[in-house]
Structure 1
Amino acid sequence: MADARQGSRGHMTCDKHAMTSHPKSCPDCAQRRRGFLSRLPHEILDQTLCVMRRRRFPAGSVLGREGEIADGVYAIQEGLVKLVGPGPHNHPRIVDLMGPGDIIGLGGVFGRRLTFDTIAITELAACYSSTAAFKGLLSSNASVALGLADHLSCVVDREAERLRGLGTNTAIERVASFLVDGRLPRIGTNRIILPLRRRELAALLGVAPETVARSLTRLAAEGMIKVSSREITILDDEGLISRADGQKSAQVTSV
């Protein structure tokens, strides 16, 4: 796998390179829409972007290994990252996914070690900052620190909801929730290429692989999706969201 840990160092003052390292796509960046940057006053954005560089990583890039201290902070713009830890019999298991709007490596700012391997499962675009530069930004600007705290409170709420779903939702509700997760990249408005193999998805959702297959078949029977290998076409977004929320279709019983 490619290792993404080499990289440029951030600086607290903007230079010509820093100002040109953010392309025209920055105004449409997911971080501006739903990441911690979306919670910052406009006058603070330029100062924040000065310590960050836009970088791209191929699928399979390792952003950090369990037990290491992250060398930098990655604010995801495009793509997905898997968090991998030891599962039963010490086999690797995906415990969560992170996507546009999420931030990786914050623990390194405070000297904490990574608790999971972090690996890109699709091509990844992210704004990168060294831990030293990002810590300096947080220390010198209360607005950035408060914006980050606001963002992290939302992440905590999201993870609490995900864990609640793992404990109470049926398998078909878990699969539906995964398909409507806004972090999954779509092709056009309604097509998804599943980023995980069925066995990996089953482990992530806490169900058996055959249950994932049955759930997808039932959602297709309800007219909500069309399945072609790893490509999923969403036919009824609202219906799928309702299914994820536990509103059962009259056509089938729950899995």
Structure 2
Amino acid sequence: MEPNDCRNCEIRSLALFGEISSEGVDQFAEQTYQVQYPAGATIYEQGDKPEAAFTLREGIIKLVRNSGTDRSQIVRLLVKGDLMGIEGIFEEPYRQSAIALTPVRVCYLPLPMLDRMRTEEPRFTEALLGRWRRALNEVEELAVELGTRKAEERVAAFLLHWQEKAEHDDDNWMPFPLSRTELGQMLGLRVETVSRVLARWKREGIFEERSSRLRLLEPDCLDQLLAQGTETATAAHRE
């Protein structure tokens, strides 16, 4: 565990504390600290009673929902600045399990501190609800998009979504730590289908992959695929 310097944090503009005053940050920052987890570590499990929420400072985390029938669904991927586990402030158990896809560094935000901030920092509640709403919108929009698409279109929609969300280096490489099995879990597809689609697109030069990183070379091809799928579905609905 490491102490936090929230006022001078490099991700403060992305994180929850970025929306409250520096004085408010100083008042509560001493109650927070940083924790590092290796890839594969579970930060918290679905159904557990929450003790804290977390802001992701570095790395990628997957939120996994278990259905109770030995099936799991990746509902969201988190990147730097994303907030997780905030359901505890509403006295609810964690809704998903949070698992590190890469080595990660998170800020530990004790729930009693967050509850006090809701009372003493009026802007905090507005910021909290805004982030909660954006997270739900992201999940819902992606679910609707994937739920109405054929297999290839689902993969294309996710890759374009991830291109917008993930960080890129100067050569437009972005992290892609998902296995084919995990991608299938997220998209509701069999791993064989995902592997076949990605293998063909790699041969066709639509994307390239290297050491858990991916770069889209022809994103317009994926956009066209989605547009054609939408046109076909619209025409079928009219008939």
TM-score category of the 2 structures, normalised to the smaller one: 0.7 to 0.9
Per-residue deviation, 1:206: 1.1
The aligned amino acid for 1:54 is Q
Q: CA–CA distance in 2 between the matches of 1:223 and 1:167?
A: 27
2:154 to 166, 169, 174: 174
Alignment equivalent of 2:34, drawn from 48, 51, 54: 54
Is the 2:53–2:84 Cα contact (8 Å) retained in structure 1?
Answer: yes
Alignment partner, residue 145 of structure 1: 125
Check if 1:206 corresponds to 2:184. no
State TM-score, norm by structure 1: 0.73
Mapping of residues 18-167 of structure 1, within 5 Å: 21-22=4-5, 26-27=9-10, 29=11, 32-33=13-14, 35-40=15-20, 44-47=24-27, 49-87=29-67, 89-167=69-147
Structure 2 regions of 5+ residues with no counterpart?
230-239
CA–CA distance in 2 between the matches of 1:48 and 1:79? Answer: 25
Letter in 2 for 1:109: I
Number of residue pairs aligned between Structure 1 and Structure 2: 227
Give the aligned residue type for 1:198: R
Are 2:199 and 1:217 equivalent residues in the alignment?
Answer: yes
The one-letter code of the counterpart of 1:123 is: P
Equivalent residue, structure 1, for 2:172:
190
Q: TM-score with structure 2 length normalisation?
A: 0.78
Cα RMSD over matched residues?
A: 3.2
Q: Structure 1: which 5+ runs fail to align?
A: 1-6, 9-17, 250-255
- String of CA shifts for 1:127-185, please: whole Å, max 9, x gaps: 22111111111221111111111222222221220111121123333223333424445
Alignment-mate amino acid for residue 22 of structure 1: D
Q: Give the whole-Å Cα distance in 2 for the aligned partners of 1:63 and 1:105.
A: 10
- Relative to total residues, which structure has the larger helix share, 1 or 2? 2
Q: Which amino acid is the alignment partner of residue 212 of structure 1?
A: V
Deviation of the 1:37 alpha carbon: 4.1
Q: Distance in 2 between matches of 1:139 and 1:158?
A: 28
- 1:9-29 deviation per Cα after TM superposition (whole angstroms, max 9, x unaligned): xxxxxxxxx6xx3289823x2
Letter in 2 for 1:32: S
Q: SS at 1:134's partner residue?
A: helix
**Letter paired with 1:63:** I
